[in-house]
Amino acid sequence: MIHTNRRLKRMGNKLLFTGPAIFSFLAVVILPFLYGIYMTFFKWDGISSVKPFVGIKNYLEVFRDYDFWTSIALTFKYVIATVILINIIAFILAYLVTSGIKGQNFFRTIFFTPNLIGGLVLGFIWQFIFNNLLVTIGQKYGILLFSKTWLGDENKAFWALVIAAVWQYAGYMMVILIAGIMNVPKDILEAAKIDGAGGLSRLRYITLPLMVPSFIITIFLSLQRGFMAYDVNLALTKGGPFGSTVFASMFVYNKAFVRFNYGVGQAEAFVLFFLVAAVTLLQVSISKKMEVEA
């Protein structure tokens, strides 16, 4: 009887502290997700009270939608570019601000600050930079690269989005990598130095391998933010020029809420979720095999 009362008391305490969080997660994430999958089997414009059941017809339409797969390909290109650049720049910044330079705490704050700016605001900031500041500098000093706005060029608009994303997230990933650098055992580095290993050798053979767990986190977060890019995409280019920067998230939103094809939009959202989940699991699996122990 006493054991039963204790068990019930522990269960009550768990529900008291975790119950609200579990309920919120179910209400905000799980139930809408399941309802979204349910809606993929219906044809609906988002307004009408009539929702004809169409089975897998929406999914068949997804696989026939050339524009959707074009946006997926563009999104993969964007993800590859941002993941590589964000993590390289984040590591360089983390390495610099842990090397003992003067004012390194100040630089940590400065580099992290862009992550605090909302996506829409950040998009408008970079819109001003590309449309006004850089154009003025380019025309004044004869720099052809900046003589015209990047946002009006089908090729350069993509890289404008990449630059904005790197500027926003590199500082955040830097903080995670700083923790990884600080966790590298100092005695191993000192032993390697005594044995004659130079700075680059210690970095390549000791620091980087021992930081793999940190890179797993930063690459995972970079992938997630890259695939889900929408707010900066909307504020900076609105998918232009001529639809050349419509990423998958924007395409899905437009399909469901602009073109009022909610069923197909939900099916495309689920396909996008499946692709993101597959890529993320593959990344984590490969990265885990690269981990080493100190």
Give domain status of residue 231, yes or no: yes
Range of the domain at 142: 66-289
Give domain status of residue 274, yes or no: yes
Give domain status of residue 24, yes or no: no
256: helix, strand or coil: helix
Give domain status of residue 103, yes or no: yes
Give domain status of residue 147, yes or no: yes
Q: What is the pLDDT of residues 79-92, one digit of tens each?
A: 999 999 999 999 99
53: helix, strand or coil: strand
**Residues 176, 123, 270: CA angle, nearest 5 degrees:** 70
Question: Which residues 6+ apart lie within 8 Å of 2 measured at CB?
Answer: none
Q: What is the predicted pLDDT for the residue at 137?
A: 92
Q: What is the predicted pLDDT for the residue at 71?
A: 94
pTM: 0.89
Residues of the chain with pLDDT > 70, as a percent, come to 96
CA gap 167, 235 in Å, rounded: 15
Q: What is the CA radius of gyration of the chain?
A: 24
Give domain status of residue 106, yes or no: yes
Question: Which residues 6+ apart lie within 8 Å of 149 measured at CB?
Answer: 130, 131, 134, 135
Q: What is the predicted pLDDT for the residue at 292?
A: 61
Identify the segments of the chain with pLDDT beneath 70. Answer: 1-5, 8-9, 291-294
- Maximum Cα interatomic distance, the chain, rounded to a whole number of Å: 86
Give domain status of residue 197, yes or no: yes
Closest listed residue to residue 160, CA positions, set 218, 208, 256, 232: 232
Domain count, the chain: 1
Q: What is the pLDDT of residues 123-155, one digit of tens each?
A: 889 999 999 999 999 998 888 888 888 998 888
Q: What is the predicted pLDDT for the residue at 1?
A: 55
Q: What is the predicted pLDDT for the residue at 291?
A: 67
Give domain status of residue 20, yes or no: no
Q: What is the predicted pLDDT for the residue at 120?
A: 83
Q: What is the predicted pLDDT for the residue at 293?
A: 58
227: helix, strand or coil: helix
What CATH number did the domain enclosing 117 receive? Answer: 1.10.3720.10
Q: What is the predicted pLDDT for the residue at 68?
A: 94
Q: What is the predicted pLDDT for the residue at 144?
A: 87
Q: Answer yes or no: are the C-beta atoms of 179 and 186 closer than 8 Å.
A: no
> Phi and psi for 157 in degrees, rounded to 5?
-60, -35
